């Protein structure tokens, strides 16, 4: 008879959000400081627990990055079923979320925005490169209520959207719409060596 996975033994005991990333077919808790950051090469499980202690309700979402491997996606789906069946005795609602097509409910868990990052954990049959914090990255910002932050390549600047540039420090530089051809010289210098 299956048992609840040890990573889920204390899951869903009180209201809140809990997140696990699939690493080598196993759920690994994500630190609260990284909630809302999702690597495109990974799969995640997100548990939302609502209600009072004696009347809790659960929504379990498995999120699939656009570059996740089939083995990680399958692990996330099976572990979601395990959590529902063994931890919540079938009382949870299960949701499948795909990068870029998340439900409003899922996006609302991560205010002010969900953030997509390139790379992911190297596991199973799929190896992806993880940003070690030394390379510059640029992000495209879309949405008003449910904001999505997507990592972009430097040539995307020509699209006249809103972007953020970061060096993995706790500060961000906001760059708003800049018509092509009239970009400040100092701003252009930041992107000349990208690619």
Residues 64 and 143 in one domain: no
Per-residue pLDDT of the chain (195 residues; tens, 9 = 90+): 478 899 999 999 999 999 999 999 999 999 999 999 999 999 999 999 999 988 999 999 999 999 999 999 999 999 999 999 999 999 999 999 999 999 999 999 998 888 888 888 764 444 444 555 555 566 666 666 666 667 766 565 544 344 444 444 444 455 555 556 655 554 455 454 443
Structural element, H or E, at residue 187:
helix 185-191
Residues 59 and 143 in one domain: no
**Which residue from 14, 92, 10, 7 is spatially nearest to 44, judged by alpha carbons?**
7
Looking at the 3D structure of the chain, how many domains does it have? 2
Strand partners, 111: none
Residues 35 and 105 in one domain: yes
Q: Note if the pTM is more than 0.95.
A: no
Residue 119 placed within a domain: no
Residues 107 and 142 in one domain: no
């Amino acid at each position: 008879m299956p048992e609840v996975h040890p990573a889920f033994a204390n899951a869903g005991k009180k209201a809140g959000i809990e997140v696990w990333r699939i690493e080598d077919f196993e759920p690994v808790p994500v630190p609260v400081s990284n909630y809302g950051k999702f690597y495109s090469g990974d799969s995640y499980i997100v548990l939302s627990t609502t209600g009072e202690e004696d009347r809790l309700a659960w929504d379990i979402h498995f999120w699939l990055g656009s570059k996740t491997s089939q083995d990680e996606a399958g692990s996330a789906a099976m572990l979601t079923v395990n959590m529902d069946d063994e931890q919540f005795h079938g009382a949870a609602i299960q949701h499948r979320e795909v990068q870029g097509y998340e439900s409003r409910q899922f996006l609302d868990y991560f205010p002010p925005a969900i953030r997509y990052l390139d790379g992911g954990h190297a596991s199973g049959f799929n190896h992806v490169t993880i940003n070690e914090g030394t390379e510059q990255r640029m992000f495209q910002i879309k949405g008003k209520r449910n904001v999505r932050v997507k990592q972009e390549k430097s040539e995307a600047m020509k699209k006249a959207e809103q972007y953020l540039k970061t060096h993995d420090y706790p500060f961000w530089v906001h760059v708003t719409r800049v018509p092509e051809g009239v970009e400040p010289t100092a701003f252009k210098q930041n992107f000349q060596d990208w690619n």
